[in-house]
């Protein structure tokens, strides 16, 4: 596992506007390697915008985002998206799997898009699915999976390239509570084993409790930022 105190993502006073709307009004955060962070706040408070700025999907109007020592906002678009595919993983509210492809090909996609030969990308996908206890999903298309299984496959896709950080925006938003709980158990166990940082946007405190830190956003500003007690024993049974 990587050191917990080395900084992975640092934002310096970032501001992001959409026309007249100020989505982020000056946010400074430091996220360490391997840290698990939940972001909560009312609808429209800027959570998704913050996640997009942290992950280089959006470039802030002012301020900087530094990822592993590189100023993301200064990279040309092509380089930024290459690094995003290589070093970051994403999980969304709906799995966003490609319906035509079986799970293993969906999971292999981030590798194939960045030039890994198909054969090794598929091998890595199979290994990741197996490591997460999802080998049975390998040949299933999204239409042949439950919502919870599709989210698990999406977690495998996020992890396949051994990213340094995973970003999840309301990952359990479309799942019932028990399935959401299992999904968070799998996700947090996997990042904990790999030393991957995790940033999860959620409006559910039960989801946030899987993380070791809670940041509350209001009106585009950090309202509070505090540690959470994580019960690591809950992770134990997730991965065999
Ligand atoms: P949250 O995820 O907390 O619900 P968002 O970050 O999505 O909030 O949005 C923050 C504010 O920015 C909202 O007022 C939203 O309407 C606005 N906003 C977000 N994305 C866009 C966009 N692409 N175009 C215009 N306004 C946007
Ligand atoms: Mg949002």
To the nearest 10 degrees (0 to 180), the angle between helices 147-159 and 103-112 is: 30
The rounded radius of gyration (Å) of the Cα atoms in the chain is 17
d(CA 54, CA 69): 13
What was the pLDDT predicted at 231? Answer: 63
> Of all protein residues, whose CA lies closest to atom 13 belonging to ligand 1?
44
Pocket of ligand 1 (CB under 6 A): 18, 21, 23, 41, 43-49
In this prediction, residue 237 carries a pLDDT of 55
Q: How many CA atoms lie within 13 A of 92 on its CB side?
A: 5
In this structure, how many other beta carbons lie within 10 angstroms of the beta carbon of residue 240? 7
- Per-residue pLDDT of the chain in tens (240 residues, 90 and over written 9): 444 579 999 999 999 999 999 999 999 999 999 999 999 999 999 999 999 999 999 999 999 999 999 998 788 988 888 888 889 999 999 999 999 999 999 999 999 998 999 999 999 999 999 999 999 999 999 999 999 999 999 999 999 999 999 999 999 999 999 999 999 999 999 999 999 999 999 999 999 999 999 999 999 999 999 999 876 555 555 554
Bridge partners (DSSP) of residue 14 are 27
- Closest ligand to Cα 21: 1
The CATH number given to 7-235 is 3.40.50.300
Question: Which residue lies with its CA nearest to atom 21 of ligand 1?
Answer: 18
Question: Of the residues 19, 44, 53, which should be mutated to test ligand 1's pocket, given the most ligand atoms within 8 Å of the CB?
Answer: 44
**Whole-number pLDDT of residue 240:** 44
From the alpha carbon of 49, which atom of ligand 1 is closest? 6
Q: Which residue, judged by its Cα, is nearest atom 1 of ligand 1? A: 44
pLDDT given for residue 233 in this prediction: 55
Residue 234 has a pLDDT of: 58
Atom of ligand 1 nearest to the CA of 220: 10
Q: How close is the Cα of 17 to the center of ligand 1, in Å?
A: 9
Which residue's C-alpha comes closest to atom 15 of ligand 1? 44
| Residues within 5 A (CB) of ion ligand 2 | 48
Separation of CA 207 and ligand 2 centre (Å): 15
* Predicted model pTM: 0.93
C-alpha distances out from residue 123 to 40, 97, 220, Å? 37, 18, 42
């Amino acid at each position: 596992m990587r050191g917990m105190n080395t900084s992975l993502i640092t934002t310096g006073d970032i501001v992001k506007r959409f026309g007249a709307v100020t989505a982020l009004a000056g946010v400074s955060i430091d996220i360490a390697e391997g840290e698990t962070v939940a972001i909560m706040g009312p609808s429209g408070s800027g959570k998704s915008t913050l996640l997009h700025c942290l992950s280089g999907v959006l470039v802030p109007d002012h301020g900087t985002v530094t990822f592993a020592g590189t100023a993301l906002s200064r990279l040309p678009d092509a380089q930024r998206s290459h690094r995003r595919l290589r070093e970051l993983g994403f999980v969304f509210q709906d799995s966003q799997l490609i319906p035509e492809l079986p799970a293993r090909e969906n999971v292999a996609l981030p590798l194939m898009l960045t030039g890994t030969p198909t054969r090794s990308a598929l091998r890595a996908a199979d290994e990741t699915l197996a490591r997460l206890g999802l080998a049975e999903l390998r040949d299933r298309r999204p239409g042949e999976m439950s919502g919870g299984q599709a989210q698990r496959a999406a977690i495998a896709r996020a992890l396949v390239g051994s990213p340094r950080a995973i970003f999840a925006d309301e990952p359990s938003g479309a799942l019932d509570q028990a399935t959401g709980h299992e999904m968070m158990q799998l996700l947090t166990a996997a990042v904990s084993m790999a030393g991957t940082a995790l940033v999860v946007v959620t409006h559910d405190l039960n989801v946030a409790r899987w993380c070791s830190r809670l940041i509350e956003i209001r009106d585009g500003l950090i309202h509070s930022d505090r540690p959470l007690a994580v019960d690591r024993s809950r992770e134990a049974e997730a991965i065999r």
